[in-house]
Structure 1
Amino acid sequence: FPWKEIMVLPVQWHALALALFASSIAPFGGFFASGFKRAFKIK
């Protein structure tokens, strides 16, 4: 690589963190919500 370091803004780190969260953790939110509703008998 011709460059030694890449200029990365805090906003870009934040976007990356959100993207990682959305792709890895968020899909399980539906299963969690379903289990939560079932546990407390909420229709």
Structure 2
Amino acid sequence: MGVAEAADERARRESTGLVAAYLQWHVERGVRSLRLVERA
């Protein structure tokens, strides 16, 4: 965790955005898959 805290503000903002986008993609993918299972 010390490495992340030592990073400059710009790098922290960019990485936060990447993590948020990655998590959103996974959540939405799960929801779409659930609809397909419910139809079967």
TM-score of the two chains, using structure 1 as the length reference: 0.39
User: Larger Cα Rg: Structure 1 or Structure 2?
Assistant: 1
TM-score of the two chains, using structure 2 as the length reference: 0.41
Query: Bigger relative contact order, structure 1 or 2, given CA contacts below 8 A and separation 6+?
Result: 2
More helix by share: 2
